[in-house]
Structure 1
Amino acid sequence: MILHCNQRGGARDLAIHLMKPENEHIQLHSLRGFACEDLMGAFQESEALAAGTRCRQHLFSMSFNPPPGREVSTEDFERAVAQAEEKLGLIDQPRAMVFHEKEGRRHLHAVWSRIDGETMKAIPMSHSKLAMRDLSRQLYLDHDWQLPRGLVNSRERDPRNFTLEEWQQAKRQNRDPRDIKTAIQDAWATSDTQATLAHALETRGFRLARGDRKGVVVIDQDGEVRSLTRAAGIKARDVRARLKHMDTLLSVDETRNRIAEDMLGKLKGFRDDVDEKTRARKEVFERQKQSLVERQRAAREQLRQVQEMRTLHEQKARQERFSKGLRGIWDKLRGEHSRLKAENERVALEGHRRDQSERDRLVHDHLSQRGLLSQRYERLKETTRELQSSLREDWRKYQEMRTPESDLEKRSEEFLKRRQREASTRSRNRDGPDIER
């Protein structure tokens, strides 16, 4: 199951949200630990208890969403809730459970009160999202469901292997410093040579580089530099023991330059992909628009023919109301003909208004259909514009990261000269003091 959780206040708003009638079916499955028997009263009860503390976000809300098309029993939902509250330290806390059904899918909302009634303190919820991510992965494995990509630690993959959608997702998810440190530590733990360490880091989106002060650093795809010893929690002597050829590593500027070149090539592929999808969407829109116009024209022509035939029948019926022969002459003399004529004109006008109203309704329906099609296309265009703008920003970032070759050569020469000066200084120090001075 996909688990979404957060701590919050706003008891009344949450109760209203959970009982919204926009869901096809709503079931208040259980209330535990509350004196009130309705959801609104239970949450307000928690809010009143929290007033005796400094806690503002006194509720902890979580949704349990099974994969589409999977049948999950109520017992499975309850078991997942029990596992969650055990990991979160919320056992025996007041709790509400509400089932929602909409568009053929069923999911569960569980809400706990964070206030411990005995100590009048809020139960801390630190690292809750990490814990629930692990539980979510475990639930997928327990039910033998296919893990979604978001639970396979895709953020630790080499960004050069990302698809466009994965690149956008990775950008939306700010990487937690703890995840970065864990990734670097894992790379160190699974390698035993300089080559295997470099490969392990690259698969996680990092590059090894030579630092300015004899150390070894790790650089991510954004050009951020981190000390390998601090990030991996190791000693400098361990680095020297494993990295036998540190002098062969590229400098920070050279590594950033290589990252920029690689990512610019990848971004160019993304931009070409967006352009191709944009052209395809436009072609699809034009075909849909043409098909809609043709269907609307056919519907209007059909209505015109139906109204025309009906008008002919109604005209014939009105004409037959007039008497013929001597009876017709008598009707004219006594004014019956004039009365029928006025009545027919009134009925004909009503028929004309009726036909016009039918045409107007059809036109309005067609305008609504056309407007929905345009709105969908405009939303796609807006999404594409935002994506193109984001890719332009990324392109500009890597262009700025890229260092001109002349600057790289100059910095390399300065680095070599500095190393030579340091080597000569160490040599003189080993020879002892200069007696001539």
Structure 2
Amino acid sequence: MILEGNQRGGARQLARHLMNRDDNEHVEVHEISSFMSDSVMGAFDEIHAVSRGTKCRQFMFSVSLNPPQDVIAPPEYFEKAIAQIEERTGLSGQPRVIVFHEKEGRRHAHAVWSRIDANEMKAINLPQGFIDKQYRNPLNFTRAEWQQAKRTQDDPRMLKQLFRQVWEQADNQQSFQAALKDHGFWLARGDRRGFVAVDYKGEVYSLSRWTSVKSKELKQRLSEPERLPDVQQVKIVISQSMTDVLKQHIDTVYQQRKKDYAPLKRTIHTMKTQHRDQRDALEQQQQMRWQQEEQQRIARLPRGLSGIWQRITGKYRAIKQQNQQEVQDNDNRDRDERQALINRQLQERQRLQERVTEVRERYHHDMLVLRKEVRHYHEVGEQALRHVQSEDHVHRHAHSMEPRL
């Protein structure tokens, strides 16, 4: 289980993110406990309202729980991990929300707690480093990184891996800069005096973010960023090396990817709609069955004089215990039915995702080749520029040596 947790504010922003059905194929509110409201937005508003009685600004603790890629985990798997997190952070008994997300055949959970102790009206301090380093994945990416990769039509996992690989292989600025150029990136100075990489499209990548390396460590290996050209200067250099032929190659790759992905995109949309309809139908079926079973349980309980007599003899109590056991059994049955449906759908979606992955990997392989071509064209351009400058210098020198009449 890969865990990522942080203290935060922004109650409504987080609620909108958790309930976002556009970026997720399925969103399921698994639990809202110890709140007056029965909605995620309402629950987070309550946390915020209580926090206003304190000085705490990061009044929530949010954790994402991601099982291994090849594991379809049942709710109990997540609940056990969440219970362990509560115990280690001192948040046991605090109001919490659990939401499941599904996308691309994978299912993960988000758990959010209130950090505010309502009795003491103060924030619960969380222990530092409660998540073991062995669980941290250096290739995890933030929402900002995902949005940037989505905007540039790149795979964030591959980008993250690329930057990490370049960083780990380079031992100084020169080798790092050369390795970046091998992949179509230029090293530059960012607006805030940090290190950034600029690709052939002019997209700027923060190295501290994409390599998961702190600024201090970057400076130790790469020296001071002030010695590097700024982003605008690098963009000018890149634009000069982008020939019409190379632009046509890039456009061809984009169009081919769009053509290959279009039918898969339609299939994904159809499958998502079908899966949602199936889950809604099962929920309605279970609700109707539950109502019928509840009527049967009520009918078992004797009324009037018979009820009084059976209370005396203890039979009433036995019937009540039978009803309670049946409620528990039926609840487990419904839960198992829901999970079985989710498992079948996840397996179906994973099979489709294998086809999507093939298209993506082929596209990103082509893009890696193009990035290397960018460097080639850049070097050719630089050589041509030096040649022209050299000839111009020779011409001016020869002209200056001519006798004047």
Shorter-chain TM-score bucket reads: 0.3 to 0.5
TM-score using structure 2 length? 0.39
Decide which structure has the larger Cα Rg and report it: 1
